[in-house]
Amino acid sequence: MSGDLAIGIHDLSVATAQYVLTHETLAARHGADVAKYHTGIGQRSMSIPAADEDIVTMAAAAAAPVIARHGAERIRTIAFATETSVDQAKAAGIHVHSLLGLPTTTRVVELKQACYSATAALQFAIGLVHRDPSQQILVIASDVSRYDLASRGEATQGAAAVAMLVGADPALVRIEEPSGVFTADIMDFWRPNYRTTALVDGYESISAYLQAVEVVWKDYTERGGRSLEEFRAFCYHQPFTKMAYKAHRHLLQHCGHDADDAGISRAVEHTTTYNQVIGNSYTASIYVALASLLDHAEDLTGEAIGFLSYGSGSVAEFFAGTVVPGYRSQLRTDMHREAISRRLDIDYDTYRELHQRPTPVDGGEHPLPRQTTGPYRLAGLSQHKRIYTPR
């Protein structure tokens, strides 16, 4: 196989949830200054799923336009990354495979490692395409971020899905070698099987993230990666958008560069536009950042983009991509903006009711109310089975 084979992201599609809770509403409920959210963490609102939405419905909504544009004939694998899985055994991607009517001659697998696993799925996909360049791989990242009510993490919640078609001769971004990688056993964020909301040590998580920035950059450069000056922009995992600014400042300082505010903004500002109104989407976050960058930045043709993917616990990876000529003709900017603008504003009591809605565990018949206006819905649970349907 030729080492010159270009492989990367051929298409990119983002979907989010039905409802939105603004941080003005959250601040008023908690008697807080809204600047705590707008300025402190860089967030303005958060997507909240309807009762009949989850990671599968968002994933299918993100993937359907990709299938509509390219067909499914060359897709041999679906790699679904999530940390809010709906089943301990069955991959959520199988439900998506069914909803979209994809061929039975497809492998489907689910990957997990906190917010990092979409990058693992992307690298897995690249390896499969290297082996057989005629194949295309559907990589999906979909998550619903949930923390306890009135907890420190509540204001960072969100929900979104990203679908990426990975193949040879990509139309958007060519993914490069090498990668810098890092793993350390750190309990900065976790969700035991018996909990529906995550646990997080915020200060430890920020510290672990910044430690990972140093190690993956060192590993990347030692393996022959690009110099810092070669990158036009950087996509970081964004548990909250101010973390992207914090991480990039840390990287610049670690490398002995000036960390002026204007330079940091040029590198990351366009990557935060969608995340600041969607909230944390865990595995999808870094690729929501990529969609935001491609949709909002001036011409990026031929420019190098740095990707720093972080997942608590913790695993991180740094790699580079180059934007492909003609990429703008493939963008879904209007669709992405419409997905955000169509969300319905809700009050805190409605949000709390959705947040505290229990998941039935008795195996009975539990139809769900029709709330979503998206293309797919979770119709209910029956005999411990989740029933998904087109809306």
Contact present, 129 and 165 (Cβ < 8 Å): no
Which tokens go with 187? 């309990």
**Cis peptide leading into residue 178 (ω within 30°):** yes
CB atoms within 10 A of CB 91: 20
Neighbour-count burial for 310-334, b at 16+ CB within 10 Å, e otherwise: bbbbbbbbbbbbbbbeebeebbbee
- Between CA 154 and CA 31 the distance in angstroms is 14
What letter would DSSP give residue 258? -
Question: Of 23, 53, 83, 317, which is the active-site residue?
Answer: 83
Contact present, 370 and 93 (Cβ < 8 Å): no
- Between CA 61 and CA 305 the distance in angstroms is 27
Question: Of 53, 115, 269, 317, which is the active-site residue?
Answer: 115
Q: Helices in 71-146 by DSSP H: which ranges?
A: 92-99, 117-131
What letter would DSSP give residue 324? P
CB atoms within 10 A of CB 382: 14
23 given a catalytic annotation: no
Q: In terms of DSSP bridges, do strands 315-323 and 173-175 run parallel, antiparallel, or are they unpaired?
A: antiparallel
- Between CA 150 and CA 53 the distance in angstroms is 23
Mutual angle of helices 202-222 and 241-254, in 10-degree steps: 50
Question: Of 10, 237, 250, 270, which is the active-site residue?
Answer: 237
115 given a catalytic annotation: yes
- For the chain, the C-alpha Rg in angstroms (whole number) is 20
- Between CA 267 and CA 218 the distance in angstroms is 20
Which residues are part of the catalytic machinery? 83, 115, 237
